[in-house]
Structure 1
């Protein structure tokens, strides 16, 4: 009866009567060789790691969180990100204490989504890790367009010099994002952080497009 009034469906595959099915949970398992090192078309100047391809259940879950208000999916996405962070620590790429800085999102997009989903996912991922703090320290300046449909060159021009630091961040930093596409956002974010002396160790994303 409750399903008829408030129908549940899996955020990854649409299966009924569940928010997150076992099959989709399996696709988010992080294996010993993951996250994978990837090479965006635009080099951000730091290693870039992705937990999987932007496809299937992974893509659907990210879209559901960002565009359809599925805050319940922050839990499985946060768990996957937490495992990725643990892997980077075990490989010696990341050491604690450190700061996680979510990649910036456009102000209008964040307002429409009721906040920044990437920040919520990062906070969930690190809630039990006393050596890691999450700081929203980056913001896009005015006139930045939505990057959907833009070419690599257009994305680069769109973001050039338009990401600014809103809070001072010192020491080791892990930049996190939901998706890495061309690497344009990552490069400008890394520049903004490095200009104030922060040591950006890597970028970790949930998916690579």
Structure 2
């Protein structure tokens, strides 16, 4: 019910820009530009955990982008799923094109179809927010990609197998330990992963990469092929590292 009321409120009531506060617009053109005005790029946490797939981000996490992500996830500004999904679609394109151009990438990596697999939030967090922010953005990204001719579908097949602590405030080592072994594939989903569709993991934000690493391990253990991971945003320092 909470999610239903949030949907109606977003349609009926005027909104201010989630990025800068400009009146009567969900996200102004300037703030949209901060999200997806530039090309998505490969990013690296520091340190890079073993098993982390290539990660591509659409924007730097800070100010406007941070405000938009928090407004969507924590304050139920559901109309932001569209622009956030468009940004995520750009990061997915970056993953696919980078993999297709890499040695051994092959035609399959660049041609599709693909599965977008969201990294799941804790059930209690989803219940408290009244909506699944990660899945909502993934669905918006998939719509954008299909409009552009990229065959893709969302498969929310990862599940939390045990409780994990809040990741905020934890360093890279503690985050890795916190989520280690915490994710698994839903019963029966192995058949989907062992098909012809490779996986791009998707999330709203990468900080240390711990959750994406664990998600990649869970998909790989179930027989899936992980092309990489796409996120809306990553810390600015992640863009400054070049490991090519």
- What TM-score, normalized to structure 1? 0.89
Distance 1:36 1:199, change over 3 A: same
Query: Equivalents in 2 of 1:178, 1:131: separation in Å?
Result: 21
Query: Equivalents in 1 of 2:20, 2:202: separation in Å?
Result: 25
Aligned-pair distance for 1:11? 1.1
Structure 1 counterpart of 2:56, from 40, 49, 53: 49
Q: Secondary structure at the match of 2:36?
A: coil
Worse-matched range after superposition: 142-151 or 65-74:
142-151
Aligned-pair distance for 1:46? 1.5
Q: Secondary structure at the match of 2:121?
A: coil
**Structure 2 counterparts to residues 45-194 of structure 1, below 5 A:** 45-91=52-98, 92=100, 94-95=109-110, 96-127=112-143, 129=146, 131-166=151-186, 167-168=189-190, 169-170=193-194, 171-194=197-220
Q: Partner of 1:35 in structure 2?
A: 40
Q: Which runs of 5+ in 1 are unaligned?
A: none
RMSD of aligned Cα (Å): 1.9
Q: Secondary structure at the match of 1:108?
A: helix
Partner deviation per Cα, 1:115-148 (whole Å, 9 max, x = no partner): 3211111111112526211011112223211101
Distance 1:153 1:83, change over 3 A: closer
Pairs aligned (count): 203
Q: Secondary structure at the match of 1:126?
A: helix
Query: Equivalents in 1 of 2:177, 2:166: separation in Å?
Result: 12
Contact preservation (8 Å) 2:198, 2:226? yes
Query: Equivalents in 2 of 1:160, 1:25: separation in Å?
Result: 35
Query: Equivalents in 2 of 1:82, 1:137: separation in Å?
Result: 19
Aligned-pair distance for 1:30? 4.3
Aligned-pair distance for 1:202? 0.4
- What TM-score, normalized to structure 2? 0.77
